[in-house]
């Protein structure tokens, strides 16, 4: 009997799940704390908790990880040289000090605008080759003609020996600067991803697991290991994508909304007719707009480990993540007694200073610290330290901004009251120390003159409202949050109704179902194995490949013996009657990810595009380990033509979508 192994390294937990290949049943699952910054130890811990007998018969492994996302967010990628070809408008904010803009580039028809300045490229490459580990290149309209990017790639590789990433290899969308950012980030990630994947391969070899290895992309599809090594940028946000695919699989719904309540955040996304709904603009990561196809999602900093704190007469949720009191009590044996005796004057209360807030050092090493940061950091060790402890040690009030800065630099980690603690108090989730959670609820509730149970119930309702707000914000794009909140609070005698099922994933997510039902009229579903739905999604993701091919009509007219090119995009009001006095000839240009080609007839161009699109999809899917007989390719066409136009379309876009199921057996 053969099995498949899915692994998801999330922000808080790393989940592993084993599925039986014969019927897709979940055989067993495990959870372990995610290790940071290297997720591999956490993955090992999750695998160690699984039955060794099942592991012997694993034939397919699929992984989703936060590695790429975290590398970009923390700016810990390898240094990259960025080469931009063409007349770029370069923003003040730039991702690297090693960049150059040189002459070259093409127009929207793929015709050369300026000759490529290879001398400047060579000068730049030689200047920075010892300072960078890779290069990225993006040329103006390379999605219409990549010849300048390819020329730069060839030259730089010959001069430096470094890998070179081209923008057109990652995206065919418009936006030269966004393609440049995408290529740059991808180049940054290649060495990190190589190291990570090599470590996974070695780990499986040690365990005797001989299996195909796949990784989940941020559009919800799986990709072969070679593709993952070449394009690691496509694995950003693979965690939410895994959750969405897992939600659809576990609930057996082809169309549904998904809410994944994790430790760090809540993610909302949607599956429609078996395919994830994608963003129209590409993924934004670390503030950088990319051209990476990713699921459309709504994310908020509300999770099981979000900090619940009090100021004035209000309960606040997040945005920072902390270690729950109930878990801290298990990790640190004396913590419960420290919590009981902690005191903070009301005037000091803020997000960083609470009666339930403590700080501990992480394993990160400090590099550049301000004097105030260094002073506080010196008094925080491996055991929890309270505000009062710091007040005594420093002989003055610790600066909340300095504490916040040390957390941002990941040098210290906070402990505090969380939604997980609230559920412990209410008896709805009791994995760790209930008494520690109750002590915390009592201390915070006392400030608001509430019992521990009343305070916890109110905190839980606030979390549910945040989750409901995220769902509606996703489904009704552009609706102001304050208006959503007005309806959720029952004002104006209105209530939201959601017409598709809403699948909930996450550890104790069942606890929020009734509160959500009181806020929104919807069919909320918590499927079996919801606590490891993301690991299931990492495994059951389909092989999906999208290819877009554009056919552009260009009219060449002859006037008094002189030929002129008409670009209908620049003359949208032009009609057939306008050009009757002239001799005209149509030319049809096909732009694809692999080549640019001209045809004299529209039918020839369409025939070529149809054949090429299907071939590109099929070649990709087979190389990713998919069987031809299990691959289905759908084609959609979109035409651009002015109102009343009777000639061939000015533009025709063909979108090819291939869907297949990954192999679960080894190929020799």
Tell me phi and psi for residue 452, to 5 degrees.
-55, -40
Task: Please say whether the beta carbons of 429 and 511 come within 8 A.
Answer: yes
Name the one residue in this structure whose structure tokens are 């109102």.
Answer: 643
CA 572 to each of CA 321, 642, 648: distance values in angstroms, whole numbers, following the listed order: 53, 7, 14
pLDDT tens, residue by residue, 576-626: 445 445 566 788 999 988 888 999 999 999 999 999 999 999 988 887 667
DSSP secondary structure, 108-171, as one string: TTS-BSS---HHHHHHHHHHHTTT-SEEEEEETTTTT--HHHHHHHHHHHHHH--EEEEGGGT-
Taking the C-alpha atoms of residue 349 and residue 363, their distance in angstroms, rounded to an integer, is 28
Q: Could you give the CA distance from residue 215 to residue 234 in angstroms, rounded to a whole number?
A: 10
Taking residues 82-110, report their average pLDDT. 86
Report pTM.
Answer: 0.75
Distance CA 272, CA 9 (A): 25
Cα–Cα distance for residue pair 80/135, rounded to 1 Å = 5
Q: Is the pLDDT of residue 664 over 50?
A: no
CA angle 612/618/621 to nearest 5° reads: 140
pLDDT of residue 95: 79
CA distances from 182 to 61, 86, 132 (A): 27, 17, 17
Average pLDDT of the segment spanning 483-495: 84
Q: Which tops the pLDDT comparison, 224 or 253? A: 253
CA 50 vs CA 5, 6, 28, 574, 661: distances in Å: 10, 12, 7, 68, 25
Which burial class, exposed, middle or buried, applies to 423 when counting CB atoms under 10 A from its CB (0-12, 13-18, 19+)? Answer: buried
CA dist 21 and 9 (Å) reads 22
Query: What is the percent of the chain with per-residue pLDDT over 70, rounded to a whole number?
Result: 93
Cβ contacts of 603 within 8 Å, gap of 6 or more: none
SS3 string, 378-391, reads CCCCCCCEEHHHHH
DSSP 343-403: ---GGG-BTTB-TT-EEEE-SPPP-S--HHHHHHHTT--SS-EEHHHHHHHHTSPPPHHHH
Q: Of the candidates 60, 11, 10, 8, which has an alpha carbon nearest to the alpha carbon of residue 29?
A: 8
pLDDT in tens, 185-194: 888 888 888 8
Mention every residue, 6+ apart, whose C-beta is less than 8 A from residue 504: 259, 261, 510, 512, 513, 516, 524, 525, 526, 530
> Are 81 and 135 contacting, i.e. CB atoms less than 8 angstroms apart?
yes
Question: Collapsing DSSP states into helix, strand and coil, what is residue 56?
Answer: helix
pLDDT digits (tens, 9 = 90+) for 546-578: 888 999 988 776 554 444 555 544 444 455 445
Q: Are 542 and 659 in contact (CB under 8 A)?
A: yes
Determine the 3-state secondary structure of 107 from DSSP.
coil
Selection from 303, 320, 319 nearest residue 262 by Cα? 303
217-228 burial, b at 16+ Cβ within 10 Å, e below that, comes to bbbbbbbbbebb
Contact (CB, 8 A) for 660 and 623: no
- What are the tens digits of pLDDT across the range 301-313? 788 888 999 988 8
Please list the residues that pair with 101 across neighbouring strands: 84
Q: What is the pLDDT of residue 247?
A: 92
Residue (of 528, 568, 58, 56) closest to 252 by Cα position:
528
In this prediction, residue 569 carries a pLDDT of 46
pLDDT score for 570: 47
Bridge-based pairing of strands 212-216 and 222-224 is antiparallel
């Amino acid at each position: 009997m053969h099995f498949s192994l899915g692994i998801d390294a999330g922000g808080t937990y790393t989940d592993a799940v084993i599925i039986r290949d014969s019927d897709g049943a979940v055989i067993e699952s495990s959870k372990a704390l995610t290790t940071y910054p290297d997720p591999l130890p956490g993955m090992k811990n999750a695998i160690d908790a699984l039955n060794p007998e099942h592991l012997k018969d694993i034939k397919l492994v699929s992984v989703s990880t936060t590695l790429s996302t975290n590398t970009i967010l923390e700016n810990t990628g390898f240094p990259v040289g960025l080469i931009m070809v063409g007349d770029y408008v370069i923003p003040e904010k730039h991702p690297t000090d090693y960049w150059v803009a040189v002459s070259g580039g093409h127009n929207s028809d793929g015709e050369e605008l300026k000759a490529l300045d290879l001398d400047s490229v060579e000068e730049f490459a030689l200047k920075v080759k010892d300072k960078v580990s890779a290069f990225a290149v993006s040329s103006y309209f390379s999605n219409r003609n990549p010849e300048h990017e390819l020329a730069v790639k060839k030259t730089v590789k010959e001069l430096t020996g470094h890998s070179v990433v081209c923008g057109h290899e990652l995206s065919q969308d418009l936006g030269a600067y966004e393609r440049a950012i995408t290529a740059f980030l991808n180049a940054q990630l290649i060495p990190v991803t190589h190291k990570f994947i090599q470590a996974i391969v070695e780990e499986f070899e040690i365990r005797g697991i001989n299996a195909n290895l796949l990784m989940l992309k941020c559009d919800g599809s799986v990709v072969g290991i070679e593709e993952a090594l070449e394009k690691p940028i496509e694995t950003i946000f693979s965690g939410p994508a895994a959750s969405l695919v897992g939600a659809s699989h576990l609930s057996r719904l082809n169309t549904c909304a998904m809410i994944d309540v994790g430790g760090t955040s809540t993610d909302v996304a949607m599956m429609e007719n078996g395919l994830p709904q994608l963003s129209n603009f590409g993924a934004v990561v670390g503030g950088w707009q990319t051209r990476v196809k990713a699921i459309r999602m709504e994310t908020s900093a509300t999770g099981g480990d979000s900090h619940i704190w009090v100021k004035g007469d209000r309960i606040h949720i997040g945005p920072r993540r902390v270690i729950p009191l109930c878990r801290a009590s298990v990790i640190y044996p004396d913590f419960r007694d420290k919590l009981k005796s902690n005191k903070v004057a009301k005037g000091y209360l803020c997000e960083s200073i609470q009666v339930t807030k403590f700080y501990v050092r992480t394993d990160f090493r400090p590099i550049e610290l301000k004097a105030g940061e260094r002073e506080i950091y010196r008094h925080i060790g491996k055991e929890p330290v309270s505000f009062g402890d710091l007040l005594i040690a420093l002989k003055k009030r610790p600066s909340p901004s300095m504490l916040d800065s040390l957390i941002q630099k990941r040098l210290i980690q906070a402990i505090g009251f969380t939604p997980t603690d609230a559920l412990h108090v209410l008896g709805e989730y009791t994995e760790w120390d209930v008494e520690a959670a109750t002590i915390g609820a009592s201390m915070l509730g006392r400030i608001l003159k509430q019992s521990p149970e009343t305070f916890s119930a109110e905190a839980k309702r606030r979390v549910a409202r945040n989750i409901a707000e995220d769902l509606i914000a996703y489904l009704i794009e552009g609706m102001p949050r304050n208006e959503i909140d007005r309806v959720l609070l029952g004002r104006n005698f209105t209530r939201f109704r959601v017409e598709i099922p809403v699948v909930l994933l996450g550890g104790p997510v069942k606890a929020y179902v009734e509160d959500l039902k009181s806020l929104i009229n919807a069919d909320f579903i918590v499927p079996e194995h919801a606590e490891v739905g993301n690991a299931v999604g990492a495994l059951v993701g389909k092989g999906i490949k999208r290819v877009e091919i554009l056919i552009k009509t260009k009219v060449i007219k002859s006037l008094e013996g002189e030929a002129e090119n008409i670009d209908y995009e620049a003359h949208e009001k032009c009609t057939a009657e306008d050009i009757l006095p002239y001799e005209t000839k149509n030319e049809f240009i096909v732009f694809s990810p692999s080549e640019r080609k001209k045809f004299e007839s529209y039918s020839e161009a369409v025939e070529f595009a149809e054949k090429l699109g299907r071939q590109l999809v099929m070649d990709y899917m087979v190389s990713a380990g998919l069987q031809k007989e299990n691959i289905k390719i759908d084609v959609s066409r979109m035409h651009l033509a002015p109102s009343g136009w009777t000639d061939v379309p000015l533009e025709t876009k063909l979108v090819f979508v291939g869907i297949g199921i990954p192999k679960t057996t080894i190929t020799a």
